């Protein structure tokens, strides 16, 4: 069974640009969550989707957005990139929502904003 | 809102010595608790979880954790660590409809 797949693994973008990250969950999983990981702030929750509907949203500005497709794949978008957006972005998938068992994480997309 | 406190940001320990990584969570009626491990440039891997039942939970790689409701703690232990256990460890909690909330992490360094 394939794990959670995040693409791309690495990205370098310039301030002011926008970026789209992709996450393919484990087959059969219908819930996808996104986290931002930085050395200073640790793992911070961005948003959570189940059945194409956003179920929870973290405390991030509107520049951060996401969506989930009918095949459960998810994308997140960051517009008008800032240096502080440099981070490891992690996606997690789980069977359902609310979460009542473990979440499985992808290897992440490392975004560097220059 | 739920919160998780990992009391130690860094824990150095000699190889083959025991280790305990501490985790406390804010109280709630019903919680699920998790420990994840992260190796450099990797995602998070589940070590163990407490959903219900026995308060002593055994996980992969010889780790175990004990759920203590009265002290709102979920400390992670291993009786004898190896060099390969060097990594960052995250405690996480979920309750009701809330998303998974993580602690700040504990960096375990095993010294030969």
Quote the tokens at residue B38. 């992260």
The predicted pLDDT at position A1 comes to 65
The closest CB to that of A105, out of B43, B98, B101, belongs to B43
Contact B61, B81 (CB under 8 A): no
B100 to A98: CB separation less than 8 angstroms, yes or no? no
Using CA atoms, how far residue A103 sits from A54, A64, A107, B48, B84, in Å, is 17, 22, 13, 11, 23
Q: What are the tens digits of pLDDT across the range B49-60?
A: 999 889 999 999
Percent of chain B predicted with pLDDT > 70: 100
ω into B16 cis (within 30 of 0): no
Q: Is the pLDDT reported for residue B1 higher than 90?
A: no
Contacts of A42 in chain B (CB under 8 A): 102-105
Contacts of B30 by beta carbon, 8 Å cutoff, 6+ apart: B95, B96
B97 to A43: CB separation less than 8 angstroms, yes or no? no
Structure confidence at residue A104 as a pLDDT band (50, 70, 90): very high
User: Could you identify the residue written with the tokens 């509107």?
Assistant: A62
In total, chain A counts a number of residues equal to 114
Q: What are the tens digits of pLDDT across the range B27-42?
A: 777 889 999 999 988 8
Report the DSSP beta bridge partners of residue B64: B58, B77
Percent of chain A predicted with pLDDT > 70: 99
Contacts of B66 by beta carbon, 8 Å cutoff, 6+ apart: B55, B56, B57, B73, B74, B75, B77
Q: Is the pLDDT reported for residue A99 higher than 90?
A: no
The predicted pLDDT at position B85 comes to 97
Closest by CA to B88, choosing from A82, A42, A92, A67, is A42
The predicted pLDDT at position B95 comes to 87
Higher pLDDT, B3 or A99: B3
Q: Using a CB cutoff of 8 Å and minimum separation of 24, what contacts does A48-51 make?
A: A48/A97, A48/B99, A49/A74, A50/A96, A50/A97, A51/A97
Q: Which of A24, A34, A56, A105 to mutate to test the interface with B (most CBs of B within 10 A)?
A: A105
* A45 Cβ under 8 Å from any chain B Cβ: yes
Mean pLDDT of A51-75: 96
């Amino acid at each position: 069974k394939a794990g959670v797949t995040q693409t791309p693994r690495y990205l370098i973008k310039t301030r002011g640009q926008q970026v789209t990250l992709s996450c393919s969950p484990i087959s059969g999983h219908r819930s996808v969550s996104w986290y931002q990981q930085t050395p200073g702030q640790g793992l911070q929750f961005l948003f959570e989707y189940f059945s194409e509907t956003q179920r929870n949203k973290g405390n991030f500005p509107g520049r951060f957005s996401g969506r989930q497709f009918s095949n459960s794949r998810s994308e997140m978008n960051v517009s008008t990139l800032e240096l502080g957006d440099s981070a490891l972005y992690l996606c997690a998938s789980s069977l359902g929502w609310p979460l009542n068992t473990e979440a499985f994480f992808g290897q992440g997309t490392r975004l560097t904003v220059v | 809102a739920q919160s998780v406190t990992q009391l130690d940001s860094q824990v150095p320990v000699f190889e083959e010595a025991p280790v305990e990584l501490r985790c406390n969570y804010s109280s709630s009626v019903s919680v699920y608790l998790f420990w994840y491990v992260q190796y450099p440039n990797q995602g998070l891997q589940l070590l163990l979880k407490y959903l219900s039942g026995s308060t002593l939970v055994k996980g992969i790689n010889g780790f175990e954790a004990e759920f203590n409701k009265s002290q709102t703690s979920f400390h992670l232990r291993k009786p004898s660590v190896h060099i390969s256990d060097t990594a960052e460890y995250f405690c996480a909690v979920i309750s009701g409809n809330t998303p998974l909330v993580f602690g700040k992490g504990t960096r375990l360094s095993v010294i030969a």
